[in-house]
């Protein structure tokens, strides 16, 4: 039931702080250490490489997860789009472990890969929001997202839940492998900070409504740019906008723009820069200046620690590896209000179904 909300999507965006708290409650003990099935941890520890396989928004969550696994657990991690992996399997490492990210647990493209993985007798984990779903039944292990039902076609809380759970799992694996960085990473505190930061953002709905009206409602196209984790979020926020508002949106690695795509920048093309990583903040700012000099209207989404006076949206500072959990929220709200102000059916965009059960 969507209660007083006009659309499920807004309700689901609003639920994200509680989803963060719920995951901490389910998967962390009082000391803040992960509580993860020991067989699953042993299987992960035995792997020489992780393969994260997913589609759409879940693939974007995987891009963030890979950074967490590499940084906290020092395990090389590849992320693949399931429909590609299924018929073009890359050369695998000696001891691969597969992680399927799927909100619904029913995505046919991802299932096709799991069937192949099972035939090859490799261990696997499905991270899903739906207990007893097909991919959860067919994988070796399952972890549930506990996000509550996600009804809107555009995925929001499942994305942030997938990232948060991967952070917990990466810490667990890092600790099992005695990685000092994993012990130092206080995931409980980080999730509490993220929950508060998300709450502050969703409390500013009017800001995003106004911004959507001013900059996105009448544009035929737009760009989201960033580097590293900010690039990963730019892919996700662009997908959100395309999917429900039908504005052509592209998520782009900000350094790559000048290698061709910058030709598309015209007067008033909105370019949204995501800046949360200290080592690339200056570079993305230069890329924004380049497009601004060609007439683009720039919007910035920046963490407190890296903010300047004229930034558009300032996010509270959290561990740099956790920033996607906050930087995605403005993108979700901008997409929501663009769709709403266009008078579209936010929850049921054209041509799309909630779970994609054909290949
Ligand atoms: O249920 P899944 O997570 O496997 O679904 C994957 C994609 O179909 C899904 O994330 C899709 O991209 C969303 N509609 C995006 O908002």
pTM for the full predicted model: 0.98
Please give the pLDDT value at position 323.
98
Q: Mean pLDDT, to the nearest integer, of 115-141?
A: 98
- 254 vs 257: CA distance, rounded Å: 6
User: What's the 105 CA to ligand 1 centre distance in angstroms?
Assistant: 10
Closest residue by Cα to residue 152 from 16, 17, 2, 20: 2
- 263 vs 332: CA distance, rounded Å: 27
More confident residue, 336 or 1: 336
User: What's the 234 CA to ligand 1 centre distance in angstroms?
Assistant: 16
- Closest atom of ligand 1 relative to the 135 alpha carbon: 4
- Closest atom of ligand 1 relative to the 158 alpha carbon: 3
Asked if the interface predicted TM-score (ipTM) of this complex is over 0.90, the answer is yes
* 307 pLDDT tier (thresholds 50, 70, 90): very high
As for ligand 1, residues whose beta carbon falls within 6 Å of it are 55-58, 102-104, 107, 110, 153-155, 239, 243, 355-356
Please give the pLDDT value at position 202.
98
pLDDT per residue as tens digits for the range 249-266: 999 999 999 999 999 999
Q: Count CA atoms closer than 13 A to 115's CA, side-chain side.
A: 11
Looking up tokens 């590499």 gives 70
**Alpha-carbon torsion, ordered 66, 46, 164, 167, to 10 deg:** -70
* Strand arrangement of the beta sheet that strand 297-303 belongs to: 248-253, 221-226, 270-275, 297-303, 313-315
Average predicted confidence (pLDDT) for the chain: 97
């Amino acid at each position: 039931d969507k209660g007083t909300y006009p659309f499920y999507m807004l309700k689901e965006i609003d639920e994200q702080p509680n989803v963060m708290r719920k995951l901490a409650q389910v998967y962390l003990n009082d000391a803040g250490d992960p509580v993860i099935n020991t067989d699953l941890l042993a299987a992960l520890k035995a792997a020489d490489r992780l393969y994260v396989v997913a589609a759409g928004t879940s693939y974007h969550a995987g891009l963030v997860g890979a950074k967490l696994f590499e940084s906290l657990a020092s395990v090389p991690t590849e992320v693949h789009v399931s429909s590609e992996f299924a018929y073009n399997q890359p050369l695998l490492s000696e001891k691969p472990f597969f992680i399927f990210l799927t909100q619904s647990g029913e995505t046919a493209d991802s299932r096709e890969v799991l069937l192949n993985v099972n035939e090859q007798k490799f261990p696997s984990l499905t991270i899903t929001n739906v207990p007893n779903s097909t991919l959860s039944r067919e994988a070796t292990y399952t972890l549930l997202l506990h996000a509550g039902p996600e009804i809107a076609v555009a995925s929001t809380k499942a994305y942030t839940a997938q990232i948060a759970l991967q952070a917990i799992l990466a810490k667990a694996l890092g600790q099992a492998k005695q990685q000092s960085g994993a012990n130092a990473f206080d995931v409980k505190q980080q999730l509490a900070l993220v929950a508060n930061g998300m709450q502050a953002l969703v409390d500013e709905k009017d800001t995003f409504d106004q911004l959507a009206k001013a900059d996105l409602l009448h544009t035929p196209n737009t760009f989201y740019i960033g580097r590293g984790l900010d690039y990963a979020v730019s892919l996700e926020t662009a997908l959100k906008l395309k999917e429900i508002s039908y504005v052509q949106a592209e998520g782009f690695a900000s350094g790559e723009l000048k290698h061709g795509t910058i030709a598309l920048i015209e007067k008033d093309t909105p370019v949204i820069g995501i800046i949360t990583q200290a080592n690339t903040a200056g570079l993305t700012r230069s890329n924004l200046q380049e497009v601004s000099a060609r007439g683009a209207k720039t919007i910035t989404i920046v963490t407190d620690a890296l903010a300047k006076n004229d930034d558009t949206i300032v996010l509270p500072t959290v561990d740099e590896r956790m920033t996607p959990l906050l930087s995605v929220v403005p993108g979700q709200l901008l997409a929501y209000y663009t769709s709403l102000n266009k008078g579209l059916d936010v929850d049921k965009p054209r041509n799309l179904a909630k779970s994609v059960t054909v290949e």
